[in-house]
Structures are given as structure tokens and as C-alpha cells.
């Protein structure tokens, strides 16, 4: 991992929140720059190339959606959006435009820091063909899954689903993205089809049905692989 301190661009129209978050980020060993709207954030992004953008969605002049759209034309850097409760349509729209995750306002700093760590961790992991999580190993190249030291058999669809989720560990994957990536957008594939296969996958990999360890549902949005990858 690079020794360079990650640079976070925080975008929100509330000046007090901007200065508080920036101070908190700096005290947690991040570098932070701020912007008050999407247009200003885009200028900052082009000037300094941050490692992650954290942006509010509702802002005057140029909002968070505009920012995500513009940034995604030029870069694949992680984007976390700040949304309010019960705004799943906004979340899905932001994720479909290319955002990587969301945090619901009011958020706590530990919550935001956890999401930042997950995004920073995810980037180098993408290059690996073997992904290791507590109790679970997914060998993407050999198409093998080891659960608690025992190889388990998955159907090709379940394996494709698991591969998609683990390669995006920590990040919500929308139902539409799953249909597009696993079923290649095959006609007749509904979100219920995805749910049926997810349930089948869970039965095979979740040791305790009452407390999921690996796959969590993001209501209306999709699924998130919640286990943290093991350090190599």
C-alpha cells in the first residue's frame, strides 16, 4: 500500500459541516480539501486529483448527481454520497451514475471513516484473483470457493453472483448492476430472479441464518458483501 496520505475531497453546501468534517479527517490522518457545490468540486478534482470524493446530493447550483456524472467521464476514483433517510431512489440513481457507496445523514465520524477505509482497501484488492475473508476464500481464476477449509459447490450463477459481490466487497451492488453483470441483461431476468439466487447462495455460505456474515441486503438498492478482506 502506498505510504502517501489519502486525499479526500468533501463536498457539502453547509460551511460548518465542511469545516468540521475536514478537521476530523485531518485528525484521522487524511488530507482534506472542501468544496461547496458540484461545479466547485469539479474544479478542485481537476486541479488536485483526490483519492476519494465524499459529496452531498442536494446542493444549489450544481448538485451531487452532476458531479458524479462529470467525474465518471474522466476517472474511476471512489465516490461516496451523503443521502437522507428514505431516499432510496436518490441512492439508486447515484449508484447507477457511478457512485460507489452512500452514508445516510446524520452520520457519525466513525461511520464515515469506516466507509472511507472500505473504499481505499477495495482498490488494490481488485487486482487479486484470490480474495480472502474470515472463513471464506474465493479463487476467481480457478472458480473455487472454500468455506471454513472445505470446498463448497456452487452453481455457475451463484459463483458469478459471489464473484461480483466479493470483488466489490464493502460496496453496495444494485439489482440492476447484478442483472447486467451476471445475467448479461438477459431478457426476462427480474429482480426476483436475483433474489431467489441470492437466497440459495446464502444457504450455502452463511453459517448462521440469523446473523449474516457475508451478504447483507440493502433495501430496494441491492446487496453488499459486508465481510472485511483479510490482510495478506
Which residues of the chain form contacts with other proteins (CB under 8 A)?
Answer: 12, 14, 16-17, 20-21, 23-24, 27, 58, 84-88, 105-111, 190-192, 195-196, 199, 202, 206, 209-212, 216-217, 219-220
The region that residue 158 occupies, defined by phi over 0 for left and psi between -120 and 50 for alpha, beta otherwise, is alpha
Secondary structure of residue 84 in the 3-state scheme: strand
CA 38 distance to own-chain centroid: 21
Instruction: Identify which of residues 24 and 139 has a Cβ nearer to other proteins in the complex.
Output: 24
Residue 129 Cβ, how far from other proteins at the closest point, in Å?
A: 29
Least distance in angstroms from the C-beta of 112 to other proteins: 9
Report the residue number, 40 or 218, with the smaller CB distance to other proteins.
218
Task: Check if the beta carbon of residue 145 is closer than 8 Å to that of residue 136.
Answer: yes
Looking at the DSSP bridge assignments, the partners of residue 130 are 139
CB of 139 to other proteins, least distance (A): 27
Q: Which is nearer to other proteins, 75 or 87 (CB)?
A: 87
C-alpha 161, offset from chain centre: 16
Q: What is the largest CA-CA distance in the chain?
A: 55
Closest CA to 10 of 28, 37, 29: 37
Q: Is 22 exposed, middle or buried (0-12, 13-18, 19+ CB in 10 A)?
A: middle
Radius of gyration for the chain, computed over Cα atoms and rounded to the nearest angstrom: 18
Cβ closest to other proteins, residue 75 vs residue 193 = 193
For other proteins, the closer CB: 103 or 140: 103
- CA-nearest of 157, 151, 148, 160 to 227 is 148
CB of residue 113 to other proteins, shortest distance in Å: 10
> Do the bridges between strand 101-105 and strand 222-225 make them parallel or antiparallel, or are there none, so unpaired?
unpaired
Which residue number, 76 or 220, has a Cβ lying nearer to other proteins? 220
Of the pair 75, 200, the CB lying nearest other proteins is at: 200
Q: How far is the CB of 73 from other proteins (least distance, A)?
A: 27
Residue 33 Cβ vs other proteins, minimum distance, rounded to whole Å: 17
Distances (CA, A) of 223 to 30, 44, 150, 152, 185: 29, 32, 25, 21, 18
Minimum separation from the CB atom of position 190 to other proteins (A): 8
Amino acid at each position: 500500500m502506498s505510504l502517501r496520505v489519502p486525499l479526500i475531497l468533501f463536498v457539502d453546501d453547509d460551511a460548518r459541516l465542511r469545516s468540521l468534517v475536514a478537521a476530523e479527517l485531518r485528525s484521522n490522518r487524511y488530507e482534506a480539501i472542501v468544496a461547496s457545490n458540484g461545479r466547485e468540486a469539479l474544479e478542485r478534482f481537476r486541479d488536485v486529483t483526490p483519492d476519494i470524493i465524499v459529496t452531498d446530493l442536494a446542493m444549489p447550483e450544481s448538485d451531487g448527481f452532476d458531479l458524479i456524472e462529470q467525474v465518471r467521464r474522466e476517472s474511476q476514483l471512489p465516490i461516496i454520497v451523503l443521502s437522507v433517510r428514505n431516499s432510496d431512489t436518490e441512492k439508486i440513481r447515484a449508484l447507477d451514475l457511478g457512485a460507489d457507496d452512500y452514508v445516510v445523514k446524520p452520520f457519525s465520524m466513525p461511520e464515515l471513516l469506516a466507509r472511507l477505509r472500505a473504499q481505499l482497501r477495495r482498490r488494490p484488492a481488485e487486482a487479486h484473483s484470490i480474495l480472502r475473508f474470515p472463513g471464506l476464500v474465493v479463487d476467481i481464476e480457478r472458480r473455487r470457493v472454500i468455506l471454513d477449509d472445505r470446498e463448497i459447490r456452487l452453481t455457475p450463477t451463484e459463483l458469478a453472483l459471489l464473484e461480483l459481490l466479493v470483488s466489490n466487497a464493502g460496496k453496495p451492488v444494485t439489482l440492476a448492476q447484478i442483472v447486467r453483470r451476471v445475467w448479461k441483461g438477459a431478457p426476462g431476468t427480474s429482480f426476483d430472479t436475483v433474489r431467489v439466487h441470492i437466497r440459495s447462495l446464502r444457504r450455502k455460505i452463511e453459517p448462521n441464518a440469523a446473523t449474516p456474515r457475508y451478504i447483507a441486503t440493502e433495501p430496494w438498492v441491492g446487496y453488499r458483501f459486508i465481510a472485511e478482506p483479510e490482510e495478506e
